[in-house]
Structure 1
């Protein structure tokens, strides 16, 4: 009975009533699609970490079957991951199959990833192919962290110099050699760092999405309150009202969630093309698994249903008060106290704790900003109404006092995005400054062998036709650097020819430039900037969509009031100015406040002062946020004109 009546009321709400349902459906669809992205990206990085773990050998305490080492080579501006393997016992190593290979490589055997094999065919042999001659096979996708990755697996004998040169690897440029019992390994430190950063970014995206999804349940809330209050007054029980509200909210939310999931699945191939941490993604990485998908599809309608029920207190307790348009009781200052408490504890929560605790602390700060928002909007309304000198200001102030929650829903998206901008804008890193030195390749060698190695380097470079100056530099680690200065004339092709000529000069040690040594730090900074762009883009998409949807919903909620004011002689321009003030005044206060809260939360993680990139990012966020809300409000002006044109307004 309740479900049938709910469906009848939903269909019988008229054209504008159905528009409200469509607004809710659209809001839920956008929220679901972006929520799936925020969740799936964590599983995507986990999948990458698992696929790359075999290259990060874990020394075996007993039962070793192979020796494994990992290092990095370079060609042009691309990184090549090189895995050196040697079987200790052919019979025992038969089960230690590397991912993407049918067996361990034999001594002298080379296996290349598809992208590296293709690149070796395209480039002149002295730039790349001579480093990995006569490849025996092509690695499968399970050996690759991302599509197009450059990977080489090289087989050695157990007593080969590359397998016995213990302690010669720079931790930033490789690991090993080590005796291993299997080829599972553990996720690398780089992959763990990316997963930690992704978790923080997800919190910065998920909390506004959950707030937006909850707000979707309160769209066209006045229309729903009137209708349900009328049902209560004619005899409906509180239980029936709750069930009808939950049924209506869940029906619309479930349809929106399914639409959002379908939209995300359609966009997955495009999302997989976003390059980060060195490359793009397998499409399967960015698609959430069955459990995360089911959790989102069940959780979003549940959240919308709960949010709808929370708003029923006035209807259930005092349906006559709703019908008489009584102003609800003022909210309590405890909302603001909760925010102050979290901010006071934030430095303690983030000091020397795990990334999970940091993520929880950020989520609490986010939610408390959202909790305090309506109270601050109510205060702004009282100040605006008390200081108004024009009708528009008085109307805006009274509306803010009458329904601060509705006004907060309109600006909450951009205000919470201000928190994100304040947090990550302050932390946006600047790029490394280039030293402007001519390119040179460096090879680490034991101090006692440095002169002999330098002589071999001169002979190899001369044979390859590369003009260079080779010298030895001492350093305090007991090793020496054999530096090959290529001169300012050297282009990338010449540098790659020199790399090829010097490959194997010191077994297990790769000739690198200073730019190569900083390659991973530079990549991390570039990825942080990419992540900042993605998080802010998602946040602004949610914020502007929220502002547009809630602005249109607010007009539908108050269409009778607007129409009566027009009949009383109020110009449309005055109503529109009041509507703009009702949005922009709390947005200015709360947006600025949220930015300051975000900056405060970022301070424990700062290293040095704010970068120029961070200041530019923050300024751009302010401009885009205000412009987006103003534009979203302008799009609903024709709807305002339409609802005020009815000479005989009536409630649903």
Structure 2
């Protein structure tokens, strides 16, 4: 009976009543779609780490070893190639690596699809000649991302590539290791990306949960009036709660399904975002079916709980709701929660637990959301006391009467301000490297630098590459003669090997190919190659910052637009009565804008400061211009988005004030 009555009330609410229902459905759909993305990011990075673990060998230890494995990095056209050397030990039959149906035989070379395609397109002397005896293509199970360049080379156990000592620098690769299994373990880089993904997820999920909870409170005044009337004519508290839950769950379930469909349609586009060297497999960004089902079920349940949480006045004092009495003001003790969290930030930042850091950041979010309505009420009292014009007085009184509703309108931008303040200080500057590509260097075994240098000259001469080969201690330096000197800012910097040079990519790759295997297990690299990983990480952090802020802005603008329209519907009787009493429409519109912009300026600025305070302990570099630009753009875009979203509800305000006989539902 309760569900049937609820359905009839939903359908019988009139055109504007249905508009409120559609607003709630839209808010839940946006929340669900972005929530699925925020959760999928963690699973996606975990999937990448698992697929790449086989290249990070773990010593067999006390277990019987079955193979020898090592890795190093090569380069082509400024891109990194991961080269894995693998050999089965005599008398052992190890399991094949991921992506292969059998263990590679000595001399066989398997390329990733992207590298095989590149080798077919480039001249053989620039790439394909480095990896002769190609046996096939690696499967996706061996790849971190679809565009990854990787080589799996089968070796004999006593091959120089697996017996010679390699560099101890982890950036260069790994030493030959006897392994009991090719399972390996995630690399430090992969674990670092997972930590950053966890923090990014918290920065996205918490505003989404707040927005999702606010979705249940859209058009709350209209619903409370209706339920209070039912309560006064004899409905029991249980019936009121049941109808509220039914209404919220029905609408939220439809919105959650719509959000899940929207996310599914967006996955192919999201998979093109390049992080950690390349785009994503679509399957990585597709949550597990249980996660998808959990979101579609959990979002409506949370929405229902949020709706029930606001029913206390309807159940306890339905006459007060019907008479529109102002509820008691909130107490300042809410501020203590925020102070406690901020006091804990410097302490927690000294630890290494990413989970604990994420929890504290999440608590800071929730504390801002808790203290927000109290601050809005305080702003309202100050605004009303200092008002000199009718619009400002109306705005101040509205903020005092219902600070929670006003906070819902600006909470999205306020929480986005926290994200911008936190990330703005953490955004790294651009890596200022030498970008020297005209010098190739390779370390030679002790006492053999002259011999290696002479072999390098012979190889380059045979390949038709003009270069000057010199030695510096145990390092052989190859300076390409066709390279041009870097001028401008680079001219004031000198590389250890001489003036900074920029080589043509084709000439550089011909030299790399000619020098392949010059020193087994060691790759000739340029200074730009050595700076490759640092530049990639900084670029990924910048991309991640843009993604997190983009999600936050979508939440903020959607929240501002939907809640502004909902607020007009909630107060349509009040607006219509004021209009009939002679209040100009322009005054009502200015009051509506003021009750958004005034708390937005205060709470947005305060949230930015709180976010910056939380970000200071995690700074690894001094503040840079890009971080300040991020903050400025965030503030400008936030204000513009909220103003624009709020302006969309002006026609609705004109419509509700044109009713000559305003009445409740």
Residue 437 (structure 1) shift: 4.3
Equivalent pair of 2:111/2:137 in contact (CA under 8 Å): yes
Residue 104 (structure 1) shift: 1.7
Residue 291 (structure 1) shift: 2.0
Residue 456 (structure 1) shift: 1.3
Q: Residue by residue, what CA displacement relative to the aligned partner does 1:437-493 show, whole Å, maximum 9, x if unpaired?
A: 46211111223111211121122112211111222223xxxxx22111224332011
1:396 aligns with 2:388: no
Equivalent pair of 2:166/2:521 in contact (CA under 8 Å): no
State how 1:66-81 maps to structure 2 within 5 Å: 66-81=67-82
Stretch deviating more after TM superposition (444-453 or 497-506): 444-453
Residue 417 (structure 1) shift: 0.2
1:642 aligns with 2:632: no
Q: Structure 2 CA distance, aligned partners of 1:431 and 1:400?
A: 44
Q: Residue by residue, what CA displacement relative to the aligned partner does 1:320-378 show, whole Å, maximum 9, x if unpaired?
A: 00111110001011111110110011111221231111100100000000100000000
Determine the structure 1 residue equivalent to 2:359. 360
Determine the structure 2 residue equivalent to 1:626. 639
- Over the residues paired in the alignment, what is the CA RMSD in angstroms? 1.1
State how 1:122-521 maps to structure 2 within 5 Å: 122-435=121-434, 437=436, 439-474=438-473, 480-487=474-481, 488-489=483-484, 490-521=503-534
TM-score (norm 2): 0.96
Residue 269 (structure 1) shift: 1.1
Equivalent pair of 1:169/1:509 in contact (CA under 8 Å): no
Equivalent pair of 1:350/1:361 in contact (CA under 8 Å): no
1:532 aligns with 2:551: no
Q: Structure 2 CA distance, aligned partners of 1:237 and 1:166?
A: 81
Determine the structure 1 residue equivalent to 2:87. 86
Residue 448 of structure 2 aligns to a residue whose secondary structure is helix
TM-score (norm 1): 0.98
Equivalent pair of 1:373/1:408 in contact (CA under 8 Å): yes
State how 1:5-16 maps to structure 2 within 5 Å: 5-16=5-16
Q: Structure 2 CA distance, aligned partners of 1:353 and 1:374?
A: 34
Q: Name structure 2 gaps, 5 residues minimum.
A: 485-502
Equivalent pair of 2:470/2:477 in contact (CA under 8 Å): yes
Q: Structure 2 CA distance, aligned partners of 1:362 and 1:451?
A: 57
State how 1:483-632 maps to structure 2 within 5 Å: 483-487=477-481, 488-489=483-484, 490-632=503-645
Q: Structure 1 CA distance, aligned partners of 2:430 and 2:444?
A: 31
Determine the structure 1 residue equivalent to 2:56. 56
State how 1:108-119 maps to structure 2 within 5 Å: 108-119=107-118
Stretch deviating more after TM superposition (166-175 or 456-465): 166-175
Q: Structure 1 CA distance, aligned partners of 2:578 and 2:366?
A: 37
Q: Residue by residue, what CA displacement relative to the aligned partner does 1:421-451 show, whole Å, maximum 9, x if unpaired?
A: 0000111111111326462111112231112
Stretch deviating more after TM superposition (321-330 or 105-114): 105-114
Q: Structure 2 CA distance, aligned partners of 1:124 and 1:437?
A: 24
Residue 447 of structure 1 aligns to a residue whose secondary structure is coil
Residue 448 of structure 1 aligns to a residue whose secondary structure is coil
Q: Name structure 1 gaps, 5 residues minimum.
A: 475-479
Stretch deviating more after TM superposition (528-537 or 346-355): 346-355
Determine the structure 2 residue equivalent to 1:32. 32
Number of equivalenced pairs: 645
Residue 167 (structure 1) shift: 4.4
Equivalent pair of 2:437/2:526 in contact (CA under 8 Å): no
Residue 169 (structure 1) shift: 4.7
Determine the structure 1 residue equivalent to 2:500. none
Determine the structure 2 residue equivalent to 1:477. none
Q: Structure 1 CA distance, aligned partners of 2:430 and 2:164?
A: 35
Q: 1:608 to 1:284 in 2, by over 3 A?
A: closer
Stretch deviating more after TM superposition (221-230 or 132-141): 132-141
Q: 1:320 to 1:33 in 2, by over 3 A?
A: same
Q: 1:272 to 1:368 in 2, by over 3 A?
A: same
Moved over 6 A (4+): none
Q: Structure 1 CA distance, aligned partners of 2:541 and 2:327?
A: 45
Equivalent pair of 1:85/1:104 in contact (CA under 8 Å): no
